[in-house]
Chain A
Amino acid sequence: MKIGVFVCHCGENIGKTVDCPRAAQESAKIPGVVISVDNKYTCSDPGQNMIKNAIKEYNLDGVVVASCSPHMHEKTFRKAVASVGMNPYMCEIANIREQCSWVHDDVEEATKKAIDLIRIAVEKVKRNFALTPIKVPVTKRALVIGGGISGIQSALDIANAGYEVVLVEKEPSIGGHMSQLSETFPTLDCSQCILTPRMVEVYQHPKIKLLTYSEVEKVEGFIGNFKVTIKKKPRYVDETKCTGCGLCTQKCPIKKAPNEFEQGMIKRTAIYVPFPQAVPNIPVIDNTVCTYFRTGKCQMCVKVCGKEAIDFNQKERFVVEEVGAIIVATGYSLYKIDKKPKDSPIKGYGEYGYGIYPDVIDGLQFERLASASGPTAGEIKRPSDKKEPKKVVFIQCVGSRDESKGFSYCSKICCMYTAKHAMLYKHKVHDGEAYVFYMDIRSGGKMYEEFVRRAIEEDDVKYIRGRVSRIYEDGGKYIVKGEDTIAGIPVEIDADMVVLATAIVAQNDSKKLAQTIGIPYDKYGFLNEVHPKLRPVESSTAGVYLAGACQAPRDIPESVAMASAAASKALVLFGSDMLEREPTIAKVNESTCAGCFYCQKVCAYNAIEKKEIKDRNGNFVKYVAYVNPGLCQGCGTCNATCPSKSVELIGYTDEQIFAEINALATL
Chain B
Amino acid sequence: MYTIGYYPGCSLTGSAKEFDKSLRKICDLLGIKLVEIEDWNCCGATSAHATNHLLSVSLPLLNIKKAYKQGITKILAPCAACYNRLVTAQYELTKNNLVKKELSEFLENDYNSIKVINIIEFFQEIIKEGILDKKVVSLKGLKVACYYGCLLLRPKEIIDFDDSEQPSSMEEIIKITDATPVDWNYKIECCGASHSIAHKDIVVDLIGKILGDAQKHSADIMVVACPMCHSNLDMRQLELRKNEGYKSIPIIYLTELIGLSLGLSPEELGINLHFIESRSVFEKYFSKVEVQL
Contacts and interface: CB of A to CB of B under 8 A. Distances in A.
A392 B1 CA distance: 57
A340 interface: yes
Nearest to B168: A350
Given A472-B185, A473-B185, A474-B185, A347 B166 contact: no
Contact of B165 (A350, A473, A474): A350
Interface string B188-231: 00000000000000000000000000001000000000000000
A348 B163 CA distance: 8
Nearest to B155: A404
Interface in B132-173: 156-157, 163-167
A342 to B, nearest CB: 11
A356 interface: yes
Nearest to A405: B156
B156 A353 contact: no
Contacts of A353: 166
Contacts of B185: 472-474, 479
A351 interface: yes
A356 B166 contact: yes
B166 A351 contact: yes
A148 B9 CA distance: 61
Interface of A: 340, 347-351, 353, 356, 404, 470, 472-474, 479
Nearest to A350: B166
Contacts of A473: 185
Contacts of A356: 166
A474 B165 CA distance: 18
Closest 10 CB pairs of A and B: A350-B166, A350-B165, A472-B185, A351-B165, A350-B163, A347-B156, A340-B163, A348-B163, A474-B185, A349-B165
B24 to A, nearest CB: 34
Contacts of B216: 474
A639 B166 CA distance: 56
Nearest to A479: B185
Given A353-B166, A472-B185, 14 more contacts: A340-B163, A347-B156, A347-B164, A348-B163, A348-B165, A348-B166, A350-B164, A350-B167, A351-B165, A356-B166, A404-B157, A473-B185, A474-B185, A479-B185
A578 to B, nearest CB: 57
B30 to A, nearest CB: 31
B96 to A, nearest CB: 18
Interface string B220-250: 0000000000000000000000000000000
Interface of B: 156-157, 163-167, 185, 216
A408 to B, nearest CB: 15
Contacts of B163: 340, 348, 350
A351 B157 CA distance: 16
Nearest to B163: A350
A575 B125 CA distance: 69
A290 to B, nearest CB: 35
A347 B167 CA distance: 13
A316 to B, nearest CB: 39
A404 B165 CA distance: 13
A347 B164 CA distance: 9
24 contacts: A340-B163, A347-B156, A347-B164, A348-B163, A348-B165, A348-B166, A349-B165, A350-B163, A350-B164, A350-B165, A350-B166, A350-B167, A351-B165, A351-B166, A353-B166, A356-B166, A404-B156, A404-B157, A470-B165, A472-B185, A473-B185, A474-B185, A474-B216, A479-B185
A353 B163 CA distance: 12
B156 to A, nearest CB: 6
A470 B165 CA distance: 9
A340 B161 CA distance: 13
A347 to B, nearest CB: 6
Contacts of B166: 348, 350-351, 353, 356
A350 B187 CA distance: 12
A348 B216 CA distance: 28
Contacts of B165: 348-351, 470
Q: Pick from B163, B166, B216 the residue with the most CB of A within 10 Å.
A: B166
B150 to A, nearest CB: 12
A483 to B, nearest CB: 15
Contacts of A479: 185
Contacts of A404: 156-157
Contacts of B157: 404
Contacts of A349: 165
A468 to B, nearest CB: 12
Contacts of B167: 350
A474 to B, nearest CB: 7
A373 to B, nearest CB: 34
A549 B216 CA distance: 46
A348 to B, nearest CB: 7
A99 to B, nearest CB: 33
B64 to A, nearest CB: 27
Contacts of A347: 156, 164
A473 B183 CA distance: 10
Q: Pick from A350, A353, A404 the residue with the most CB of B within 10 Å.
A: A350
B7 to A, nearest CB: 28
A568 to B, nearest CB: 46
B81 to A, nearest CB: 22
A103 B61 CA distance: 46
Nearest to B167: A350
A472 B157 CA distance: 24
A471 to B, nearest CB: 9
A399 to B, nearest CB: 14
A340 B167 CA distance: 12
Nearest to A339: B163
A102 to B, nearest CB: 33
B191 to A, nearest CB: 15
A479 B209 CA distance: 14
A275 B192 CA distance: 53
Nearest to B216: A474
A474 B212 CA distance: 12
Q: Pick from B163, B164, B165, B216 the residue with the most CB of A within 10 Å.
A: B165
B159 to A, nearest CB: 12
A473 B165 CA distance: 15
A350 B154 CA distance: 13
